């Protein structure tokens, strides 16, 4: 939490400095410099501000700190909406005007791309935005229990800690999720339920998911099979298709903005097919999850291969790709690490390749296999712009050119950004 004009220790205290923020960096911190020249990454500071900063971490070449007072605020600074801001580990940009967050992130990513990939993002690079509040349809919360076994409340994890932060209502969760926590969630482990909790006090981590129609599914470790099938599985309607998933596996957390990503991927596929840089013979979807992209593109290809190592996701992919649009698409859902499958299979036709890797980006084996393949059209969906820039630098050496770059602010009030690159050679 940032407190303006908060009284802090004397200026002679070596932990405190008045620092001018130069810019925002990846992760949402402001970057300033101590009098000795060391860089200080300041939580809660905006570019141009003069802030009183308490150092929280020091090394020889850089430091970290947090804002404890704002001497000269930015015009873009606003009062955080949530009373738990600065304590809860969920949001870290509520002090920045919601309408300005995408603009700030675009500057950060342009600089990252120049520094890490030694190239510029296209002039038309744009970040798609949706609702700033009440958007998050997926979350993990902790249910707390009293000695009698009854639910006594729910909480998130504290910043950089496993400590719990109880909350009444979260402003970024959808209304349906907030309503679920206030009512039905408290009865999941009630006496006589199939969950059969012990009477000892404690806590349970609960995954909750709103399918966009106000229907909430949930999952917790050790959930009985019958309860899982009844309460965890959900169906989302998007892009003209029904996509099955469940609350135990990954699915996008912002259904309001997701159609824009779907449309961008579809446009990228159509452009490749119409230009001849890719054929409709084969779509390969790596890190495919529940087969989301493949299911939405199924009617465009003669053959589809999805590759995913999570067995729970594969089960849903089998359902989502079981009904074809044209009736003659050959579908193969493969259980394997994406890099191992790609390295051991020859892709000798101009297939369309979609990759949606975790934050760590593409493994080296996968990058090497893509370079050696006949793939000329690559659609890269990334949840970490830093690893995306790193991977692009290697692909560019191999002859891939960046045709289009788009950002998607799926997590307003945080610095997290998903990006879409369309590459061809």
Same structural domain, 299 and 234: no
Query: Is residue 89 included in any domain, yes or no?
Result: no
Q: Which domain holds residue 400?
A: 103-131+255-424
Same structural domain, 287 and 212: no
Geometric angle at alpha carbon 239, from 131 and 290, rounded to 5° = 95
Q: DSSP per residue over 303-363, as a string?
A: EEEEEES-HHHHHHHHHHTSS-SSS--EEEEEES-HHHHHHHS---S--EEEE---TT-S-
Query: Is residue 176 included in any domain, yes or no?
Result: yes
The stretches of 63-209 forming alpha helices (DSSP H) are 101-117, 175-182
Domain of 333, CATH number, reads: 3.40.50.150
Query: Is residue 86 included in any domain, yes or no?
Result: no
Reduced to 3 states (helix: H, G, I; strand: E, B; else coil), residue 182 is helix
Same structural domain, 405 and 265: yes
CB-CB contact of 354 with 379 (8 Å): yes
CB-CB contact of 155 with 167 (8 Å): yes
Distance in angstroms (rounded) separating the CA atoms of residues 191 and 91: 35
How many structural domains are present in the chain? 3
From residue 194, alpha-carbon distances to 134, 198, 247, 261 in Å are 31, 12, 18, 39
Tokens of 60: 């020889």
Identify the CA nearest to 46 among candidates 80, 70, 14.
70
Same structural domain, 239 and 261: no
From residue 327, alpha-carbon distances to 299, 324, 336 in Å are 8, 5, 26
Q: Per-residue pLDDT tens for 360-369?
A: 999 999 999 9
Beta partners for residue 418, in sequence order: 408
Cβ-count burial of 110 within 10 angstroms (0-12 exposed, 13-18 middle, 19+ buried)? middle
Domain of 219, CATH number, reads: 2.40.50
Q: Per-residue pLDDT tens for 90-109?
A: 999 999 999 999 999 999 99
Distance in angstroms (rounded) separating the CA atoms of residues 54 and 189: 43
pLDDT by residue, tens only, the chain of 425 residues? 444 444 444 456 788 999 999 999 999 999 999 999 999 999 999 999 999 999 999 999 999 999 999 999 999 999 999 999 999 999 999 999 999 999 999 999 999 999 999 999 999 999 999 999 999 999 999 999 988 778 899 999 998 888 999 999 999 999 999 999 999 999 898 876 767 666 667 899 999 999 999 999 999 999 999 999 999 999 999 988 999 999 999 999 999 999 999 999 999 999 999 999 899 999 999 999 999 999 999 999 999 999 999 999 999 999 999 754 446 789 999 999 999 999 899 889 999 999 999 999 999 999 999 999 999 999 999 999 999 999 999 999 999 999 999 999 999 999 999 999 999 99
Geometric angle at alpha carbon 175, from 291 and 235, rounded to 5° = 25
Query: Is residue 91 included in any domain, yes or no?
Result: no
Query: Is residue 150 included in any domain, yes or no?
Result: yes
Output the 3-class SS for 222-263: CCCHHHHHHHCEEEEEECCEEEEEECCCCCCCCCCCHHHHHH
Distance in angstroms (rounded) separating the CA atoms of residues 248 and 289: 12
CB-CB contact of 234 with 244 (8 Å): yes
Same structural domain, 169 and 115: no
């Amino acid at each position: 939490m940032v407190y303006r004009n908060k009284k802090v220790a004397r200026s002679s205290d070596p932990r405190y400095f008045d620092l001018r923020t130069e810019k925002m960096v990846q992760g949402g911190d402001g970057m300033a410099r101590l009098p000795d020249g060391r860089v200080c990454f300041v939580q809660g500071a905006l570019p141009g501000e003069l802030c009183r900063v308490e150092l929280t971490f020091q090394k020889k070449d850089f430091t970290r700190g947090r804002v404890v007072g704002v001497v000269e605020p930015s015009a873009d600074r606003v009062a955080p909406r949530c009373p738990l801001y600065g304590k809860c580990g969920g949001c870290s940009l509520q002090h920045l005007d919601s309408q300005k967050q995408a603009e700030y992130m675009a500057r950060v990513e342009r600089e990252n791309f120049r520094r890490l990939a030694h190239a510029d993002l296209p002039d038309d690079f744009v970040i798609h935005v949706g609702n700033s509040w009440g958007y998050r349809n997926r979350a993990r919360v902790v249910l707390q229990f009293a000695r009698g076994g009854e639910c006594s409340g729910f909480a998130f994890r504290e910043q950089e800690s496993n400590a719990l932060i109880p909350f009444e209502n979260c402003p970024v969760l959808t209304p349906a999720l907030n309503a679920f926590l206030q009512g039905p969630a408290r009865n999941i482990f009630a006496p006589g339920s199939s969950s059969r909790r012990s009477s000892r006090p404690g806590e349970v981590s609960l995954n909750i998911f709103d399918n966009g129609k106000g229907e909430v599914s949930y999952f917790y470790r050790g959930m009985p099979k019958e309860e899982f099938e009844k309460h965890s599985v959900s169906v989302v309607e998007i892009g003209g298709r029904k996509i099955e998933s469940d609350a135990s596996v990954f699915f996008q957390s912002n259904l309001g903005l997701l159609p824009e990503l779907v449309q961008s991927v579809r446009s990228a596929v159509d452009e490749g097919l119409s230009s001849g840089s890719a054929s409709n013979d084969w779509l390969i979807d790596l890190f495919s999850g529940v087969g989301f992209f493949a299911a939405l593109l199924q009617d465009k290809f003669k053959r589809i291969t999805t590759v995913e190592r999570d067995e729970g996701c594969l089960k849903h992919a089998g359902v989502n790709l079981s009904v074809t649009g044209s009736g003659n698409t050959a579908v193969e859902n493969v259980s394997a690490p994406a890099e191992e499958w790609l390295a051991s299979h020859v892709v000798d036709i101009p297939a369309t390749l979609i990759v949606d890797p975790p934050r760590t980006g593409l493994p080296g084996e996968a990058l090497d296999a893509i370079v050696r393949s006949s793939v000329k059209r690559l659609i890269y969906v990334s949840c970490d712009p830093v690893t995306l820039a790193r991977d692009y630098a290697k692909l560019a050496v191999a002859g891939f050119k960046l045709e289009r770059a788009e950002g998607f602010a799926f997590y307003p009030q945080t610095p997290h950004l998903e990006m879409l690159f369309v590459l061809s050679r």
